[in-house]
A and B are shown apart, each in its own frame.
Chain A
Amino acid sequence: MADTDSSEPAKSDAIVVKFRARNYAAEATAHSLPRVPADLHPLSYAPFLSPQVVAIDEEKHGTLDPLRAPCRSVVVPSKDLENARRASKPEISGSDAAQLLGKEWTTFKRFLVQKFPPSKTVAVSSIANLVIGSHKVYEKSNAHLDELDDPQGSAEEDVTFITQQEYTARLSDMKTDILSSWDAGDHFKSLKLSVKVARLLRDTDLLQFYPTLFTQVTDILDMLGDMVIERIKRKAEFTEDGTQIRALPEDFQARDVCSEAKETCHNWFCKIGSIRDLLPRIYLELAILPCWRFLLDDSTDVIQRLLAMMRGLGNPLASAYCHLYLVYSVQKLPARHNGYLITCIRDISLLMVPIVSSKVTIEDINSESRQVLVHLMEPPMEYIMKCIFKDHQQGCNILAELGVTRNLSELFGEYSCVSLLLHHLLKELPPEAFRSNILHILDLIERGIGSSFDQCVNFRLLGFRLYETDAPVEIVNVVLERVIQDVSQYQDLDSYLKVVDGYVDIVLQNQMKIQLEMLLEGIAERACNKWINDCELESLKSVFIKILSHTKCLENILELNFFAEIIDVMRGTAKNAINMRLLEIATRNGYIRCPTTVQFLFEVGQGLRNCNGFLSMLDSDNQHLDRLLSRFVHMVDFGTEWELHLTFLIEFRANFASADEMKETLVHRSNWLVMKALKDSKQLVSFGKSCLAFSEATIPSIANPVKQLFLYLETAEVALTIGLVCHSDGLIDSAICSLQSVVGGTPLDVDRIICIIQKLCSLLIMVPGNPIRGVTYISKSLLSLVNSNALRITARLKVRTLSANIILLAALSQHKLPYSPGDMKEVPGNDLLYFDDPSYQEELASFCRHLLQDMILAIKEEASPITRGSLALEACNSIASVLEIDDNVLCICNELMEIAGSCLSKEHFYLLSTSKLFVANHLRNLSV
């Protein structure tokens, strides 16, 4: 300031500044817009919008407007349903159905391979070796029926190891061979090779590799089947010399086929029928199963015979996959009854009985490999079950539906101990059928003691199904009662948890608190005083997450017996997840008022924080936690117990406040606390001081200076409101200090700083002038700050700061200030302190003069002409709005206008409007 004083003394004396007198209250009323009460909230959903219009609109454009969900959701599903119904009609184009089947099958095969990723090497027994190993075997063979037979070499015990890739590669070699011999017209050789490929499936010792092998072999067989069908179809449609005699329709009958084609077809079946080995014979017949259409209209007998033949397969694994292939192949036939599927399921279950029943022990199958076997047999079961209910779900075979439902018990019959079967049935059972059979199924599960599939998994599935099918409450009650009773016999925490997992949802949905507590008690009994393994932890987590997601209010959970005990025994990430969820729930709905809850959450937070200490959590997790904790601080409300609240804040800061965000929240909360206390009581000086002290201590620890600044200003405002002027002065000083560090720091966000300075100026209006330091002390220090960093400060920042200060001075010069802190008389404003004090006015005016000159200099410093022009106009406008325009001021303004005029084009809108304003002002002044 001293510089400006000394450098331009002559000029400053020449100018006399007079502030324009304002009546803020009158201006506010004059400029406010008229207000009309509205009927509707602008953001509310308008239900009376004509739905017809919407519907028409939709039809026209057909686009999906996501915002129009309420109307749209009515329309869309109906269309989809229609499509689905159309798609499900069995009589529509067979080729479509075939394509669909093919796609499904491909997906299923992929799933199979993924489910059982085979190990690298495969032990190949001699049977496979004969086929895969030496190509000579089939190269030297002559075309005679006996070549289809097993060369009886199966007794050799040689086991060679080859990698799975090799095996696959050889299979695909075989495939190429089959194709090439087919193309060469040697259909018999193709068949022979296919038989060899199919024979591979006898080797069930491959176990994990078996499903993969199955998919590859059936690929080859399907290919052969398709070629045979194509050939016979060609025979039926074309003569030998290639002229078409007739075209077979999609739904042709056996009588449409000429005898020549039938003869060929019959020959194929005869050739396949003469294969000695049972398994390849069945597979090959299944591969060309659709060919029966050329001979018979109703192939039910064929399917029955094939099923009966499969009973001769003693190996359960081979048999199960053979059944799977049968079910797939039969679907290629046009019309069929679903009865065969039930037979399939029954036959497979029968095969499983010896595997699963614990009484029968097969010497060479130990329990582990038995488990593997059961696991391997699961996919065929699943696929067949799906097929049973596929038609049903599409609603096109109501008869079958009735049959199946009625035959539920018949289906299980005496083999109910195969709980795997039950599991898949339960999975696929359509909702209606499920609802009417719940208790029956429960009986079956209770009876199911088979080790094939753990009973608890079935219990759990039953629970899931109950939940998703909206079973009636009475039934749910009965089921729950029985399940809880059954499960109480489980000693193992893991299986217990599995069951509980299935029922938590439904228990919570029906708000059965007693049952929930019973289940929790069960968990507590089994979980406490024991080391919980990771798997159990996961289940526990799942159960608790479910409980938490159903509860709206934290208190409900805390009230639950055993909840806290179980949480205590948890650890690691599972516990963290639960804790996070707890915090989320607590902070989701409204304020937390209960001190116990606060204490509980505080501990939860501490637990999480401690975990973070040594478990390296992800940054995102950490951020999430910080946010949650901030939110928690934000939601705590002790009502009129302000002291307590402040203590909480202090404690919280001591424990958690490491991140800026949290400290910021703490300061906000402490300020909020002061304001709230102020509203309720007038006597709070000491409490206010403590809060301010808290804030003052907290703010400096925040790393980000910009945040610091805002918080300083906010706190200063609060201090001013409760009348602690000294505090507010101190805070403003701190603010200016940190502003200094902001300006000194990099990078400089000019707009943000301008904003802060403007805010500071607006605050200063209320701050009573310090007689010792001088009224304009703060403004001056602000200016010196701006000037001292000339290199870093842009002209814009400078000009804006200056105009903000000019406006501040103008406001201070008024007889009545535009606003006062909280409209309270405790802090007298400058208007009262310096009422009618000429020296005060003089000081303001003289400082204003300096500012004006500085401003012109600053504008001239600006390099860019466009910025210079607009800055000049800006300055001009702010001068015109706050100062009386006499000749001196006009002179300054003219200078500014000249700068603007030289920098901007004559047509510039801002320039034009500003000059208009001056002309108008000038005229008014003249007239006055």
Chain B
Amino acid sequence: MSVELKLSRSNRIYRPDEQIEGKIITKFSSSISHYGVRLTVNGSVNLQVRGGSAGVIESIVGVLKPITIVKKSVEIRPSGKISSGTTEIPFSLTLKQPGESKSGKFYETFHGEDISIQYLLTVEVARGYLHKSLSATLEFIIESEKAELLELPISPELVLFYITQDTQKHPLLSELKSGGFRVSGRIPTQCSLSCALRGEMTVEASALPIQSIDIHLLRVESILVGDRIASEATLIQTTQQIADGDVSRGLSLPIYVLLPRLLTCPTVLAGPFSIEFKVSIVISFQSELSKLHPKSDPRTPRLWLAMETLPLELVRTM
């Protein structure tokens, strides 16, 4: 006995003004009678505050009340019978009526550390009190509707950056401090989610051989708790190594980071919460010391690391 949901699009991506189409698939060994088949859409922003910048009370309370974006329930079938075997019940659902108010903004799906924006589709086959009702839940993904999109092309605004021993605020290895190094590059401040983050950088000089250069993508999730803002920057699992070993000096290395789905979304600055992104370039130099701390967080300033973090605005384009 099973109920399944299947959407018309295999990638499960829809825009708020689109019809969500699909089918409910039931597989029963014998025919059953029911009190109706219901389909529920539930979109919400879930917030959670953990340690760090949050106050003591908030950290105990932890989970804040979710912000509902959409909640709709539709009856697909009135009470009746579903025959044995496989039955497919097609459905079609409108999330947002054209005339509906703009207040309920459909944020894009986002799975973060403290904030997650999720849209769930649930089907329920109610079978009265004697039987447990059958249900299935499926997450679908919302991307901004076309009308709200920025016009292409986004300005290819690249910011220049330099990383030298003088730009580092933390202590460095003495050889590095005295011998110096210089890495320069360019990276965009704004990037479309459907494209890769493209930039370039060059190791111009370095007193120590380079071990590795990595690009980290950070998300900064801020939540308004009372009158305070709890903000935390965490690493998105997409870490990209762009140099492995001591690269040639003066050669331009490409920065090419594919932005992962779900883990990124357009930068959001809403009232109760905000989601922002940063890109961080970390250069690790060859050092005996680094071998003693193999599993350290790459964002922790170390003697053999040099880093630069730049803000990155993510946008949705056509």
Contacts and interface: CB of A to CB of B under 8 A. Distances in A.
Nearest to B260: A274
A176 to B, nearest CB: 29
A276 B209 CA distance: 21
A693 interface: no
A350 B247 CA distance: 11
Interface string A558-580: 00000000000000000000000
Which of B241, B244, B290, B291: most chain A Cβ within 10 A? B244
A305 B11 contact: no
Nearest to A312: B243
B43 to A, nearest CB: 23
A311 interface: yes
A155 interface: yes
B155 interface: no
Contacts of A350: 248, 251
Given A155-B294, A313-B244, A274 B238 contact: yes
A63 interface: no
Given A276-B240, A312-B213, A351-B248, A155 B253 contact: no
A152 B241 contact: no
A315 B10 CA distance: 42
A314 B242 CA distance: 10
A315 B248 contact: no
Contacts of A308: 252-254
A313 B245 contact: yes
B251 to A, nearest CB: 5
Contacts of A202: 244
A145 B237 contact: yes
B294 A276 contact: no
B239 interface: yes
Given A154-B294, A155-B290, A263-B11, A274 B256 contact: no
A308 B10 CA distance: 34
B193 interface: no
Contact of A149 (B210, B239, B257, B261): B239
A517 interface: no
B274 to A, nearest CB: 25
Nearest to A272: B258
Nearest to A260: B10
Contacts of B210: 314
B132 interface: no
B244 A279 contact: yes
A318 B257 CA distance: 22
A305 B253 CA distance: 10
Contacts of B238: 145, 274
Contacts of A269: 258
B169 interface: no
Contacts, number: 87
A152 B295 contact: yes
B246 interface: yes
Contacts of A152: 294-295
A276 B254 contact: no
A353 to B, nearest CB: 8
Contacts of A315: 244-245
Nearest to B292: A155
A153 interface: yes
Given A155-B290, A155-B291, A274-B260, A314 B253 contact: no
Interface in A288-338: 305, 308-309, 311-315, 318
A631 B7 CA distance: 95
A305 B254 contact: yes
Contacts of B214: 276
Nearest to A308: B254
Given A155-B291, A270-B258, A350-B251, A277 B244 contact: yes
Given A149-B239, A279-B244, A312 B258 contact: no
Contact of A278 (B196, B244, B251): B244
Contacts of A351: 248
Given A274-B237, A276-B239, A312 B244 contact: yes
A269 B258 CA distance: 9
A263 B291 CA distance: 41
Contacts of B209: 314
A314 B295 contact: no
A355 to B, nearest CB: 12
Contacts of A730: none
Nearest to B210: A314
A350 B250 CA distance: 11
Contacts of A744: none
B261 A146 contact: no
A128 to B, nearest CB: 15
B254 A309 contact: yes
A305 B256 contact: yes
A331 B10 CA distance: 33
Contacts of A157: 291
B247 to A, nearest CB: 5
Nearest to B293: A155
A273 interface: yes
Contacts of A277: 241, 244
Nearest to B242: A312
A153 B295 CA distance: 8
Contacts of A312: 213, 241-244, 247, 253
B243 A314 contact: yes
A278 B213 CA distance: 10
Contact of A314 (B11, B196, B245, B292): B245
Contact of A311 (B10, B246, B247, B291): B247
Given A278-B242, A314-B245, 18 more contacts: A263-B10, A269-B258, A270-B258, A270-B260, A273-B257, A274-B237, A274-B260, A276-B241, A277-B241, A278-B244, A281-B240, A281-B241, A311-B252, A312-B244, A313-B245, A314-B209, A314-B247, A315-B245
Interface of A: 145-146, 149, 152-157, 202, 260, 263, 269-270, 273-274, 276-279, 281, 305, 308-309, 311-315, 318, 350-351
The 10 closest A-B pairs by CB, nearest first: A314-B245, A273-B258, A155-B294, A312-B243, A308-B254, A155-B291, A314-B246, A278-B241, A278-B244, A314-B247
7 contacts: A145-B260, A152-B294, A270-B261, A277-B241, A305-B254, A311-B247, A314-B210
Interface of B: 10-11, 196, 209-210, 213-214, 237-248, 251-254, 256-258, 260-261, 290-292, 294-295
